[in-house]
Amino acid sequence: MSLLVVGLSHRSAPVSVLERASLNTDDQVKLLQDTVAAEPATEAALLATCNRIELYADVDKFHAGVAELSTLLAQHSGVGLEELTPYLYVHYEDRAVHHLFSVACGLDSMVVGEGQILGQIKDSLARAQELHTAGRLLNDLFQQALRVGKRAHSETGIDRAGQSLVTFGLEQLSAGTAVTDWARGKKALVIGAGSMSSLAAATLARAGVAEIVIANRTQERAERLARILTEGDDTDVLARAVPMNAVPAELTRADVAVSCTGATGLVLTAESIAAAVEGRTGAAAKELDGESLGGESPAEDAGERRTAVKTDVRETPLPPATLGAEEGCPLDLASVEPGFSLLGESAVAGIDAATLEQHGTWVDNGTVDRREHADRVVEADAELITALAATVARVGRVPELRRPEPVAVAPRPEPVLFLLDLAMPRDIDAAVHRLAGVRLVDIESLAEASADAPMAADVDQVRRIVAGEVADFAAAQRAAHITPTVVALRTMAADVVASEIARLEGRLPGLDGKHRAEITQTVRRVVDKLLHAPTVRVKQLAAEPGGAGYADALRTLFDLDPETVASVSRADEDSEKNGKNRGPA
């Protein structure tokens, strides 16, 4: 087994890079075809979800395989190789198996324990089988990953540790309120009719929304999803389908909108969301950034701020310091906070007496420009320096400037429109985060929220399951590696028996059928007994770590024809492919 995986995910790359590296369906097909056409790879499968892109391959050379797979990912994603490389991770052989099994169990998901990844792995295998890029190794690997994932969910409480990305996103939208209470009676708009959008629509229906509108570029798919929701036994939601050009009007009616399409550009711009809010409320949506929500910062109390020096100086804004122009200043300019005058209290807070004296001399002997600068802050600086010098004489050091009181900020207005963007690349403009009256949750904000999500104790149990399954898979693959050699050996033995029986018949032409059959059976039993123990034992040894060399030893000892062994292996692969390409379990 020479399994290699090269990929990037929400754990290794920022959402902005994942967004740019995302692949549409045509790109995924071309990537798989180009991978198996490349020299190092004989099999390939691609796992592409909203927060990961992973290329799996059976390669004959590790370093060449890493270079080739990385280059192909860069070429097909459109992200330059130099830019993409820092975010790529590589797993090889057992580590690659461990990674996929962990992914299948939800341990590597943005929301730990979510089960939706199993469907995505199943789709990845089906695509590779359809394109005939999956051979024995990847068929076995992905089939086993599906079984491991199902086992983890059935034997542990990993489901309690997480949920689907849709449910997690709705919990973020509800901001601490139970989703069923938050959703009850709301009108929802779902943009897209694929698997994720369908899951979102079904989740919203079960949560108790009153109405769901489905918008999709293919009207038939939208109508089919609306019909499924309406006819469902577990909900009584009203569902209907609309064309994509009806989305702006529907946004003015919707309380919550979920978007997950395969579009390469934005589906909802900040301007369209602002227009929807205005259409809903009658007031233009304002941007929060740059808006003075809490008024100007309250001025510091001059008496409190200067208690140590007992000086009453008018609060005058200090102009920004031009550090490079202050030649000869005795202060450490690099440590001076930008925006404060080098002549005032903020500049000299915390310095020792000797430096303070030098600073005072520098101020007194300053140029006309600095005098004009000082005039703008009145004579406060000179008075402060004198007072601060007196403080130094008493306490040995100028007191640090007290931190300003925190600025009062008005609370963000309650949202009138809730948006959930589950697409990669994003469907909804990130600038919507700055709009008042709107709450947007997207892949990036979900990643931030999930970083602090608690993990259930069952995760440890799942990890133990994964470790055991990885060991079993590796042993099975090593044992399978020697099987063609064992089959070739037994075939050679059967040919030797047949040849010797034919020779016996030539030497004893009068031998009757009964005796001929008895002799043939006896010879075969002798050969089988002689081969039984060695072949059973060699399979056991080959299944252990480091057992790959036993196949070579067997071929050498019995002088087996390598082409015969290879033909047996090809026949097995063709048989398995014909059976498994009918669809994953």
Q: Is 49 annotated as a binding residue?
A: yes
- Residue 194 annotated as binding site: yes
Q: Report whether 120 belongs to an annotated binding site.
A: yes
> What H or E segment, with its residue span, contains residue 188?
strand 187-191
Is there a cis peptide before residue 425, judged by omega within 30 degrees of 0? Answer: yes
Q: Which of the residues 50, 105, 260, 329 is marked catalytic?
A: 50
Q: Is 109 annotated as a binding residue?
A: yes
Backbone CA torsion sign across 271, 277, 282, 283: negative
The reply, when asked if residue 524 is annotated as ligand binding, is: no
**Residue 116 in marked binding region:** yes
Q: What does the DSSP assignment read for 408-445? A: P-PPPPPPSEEEEE--SS-SB-GGGGGBTTEEEE-HHH
Distance between CA atoms of residues 451 and 148, nearest Å: 25
**Any binding-site annotation on 52?**
yes
Instruction: Mark whether 50 is an active-site residue.
Output: yes
Angle at 208 between CA 206 and CA 211, to 5 degrees: 105
546 is in an annotated binding site: no
404: left (phi over 0), alpha (psi -120 to 50) or beta: beta
Please name the helix (run of DSSP H) or strand (run of DSSP E) that holds residue 264, with its range, or none: none
Q: Is 195 annotated as a binding residue?
A: yes
Reduced to 3 states, what is the DSSP secondary structure of residue 402?
A: coil
CB count within 10 Å of CB 168 equals 20
Beta strands in 248-358 (DSSP E): 256-259
> What does DSSP say about strands 89-92 and 3-9: parallel, antiparallel, or unpaired?
antiparallel
259 is in an annotated binding site: no
Q: Which residues contact 418 (CB under 8 A, 6 or more apart)?
A: 173, 255, 256, 257, 438, 439, 441
- How long is the chain? 585
Q: E strand or H helix at 329, and its extent? A: none
Q: Looking at 38-82, which runs of residues are DSSP E strands?
A: 41-49, 52-59
The tokens describing 380, both together, are 């406060």
492 marked among binding-site residues: no
Backbone angles phi, psi at 43, to 5 degrees: -140, 155
Residue 38 and residue 53: Cα distance in Å, rounded? 19
Give the catalytic positions in this structure.
50
Binding residues for NADP(+): 192-197
What residues form the annotated binding site? 49-52, 109, 114-116, 120, 192-197
Q: Residues marked as binding for substrate?
A: 49-52, 109, 114-116, 120
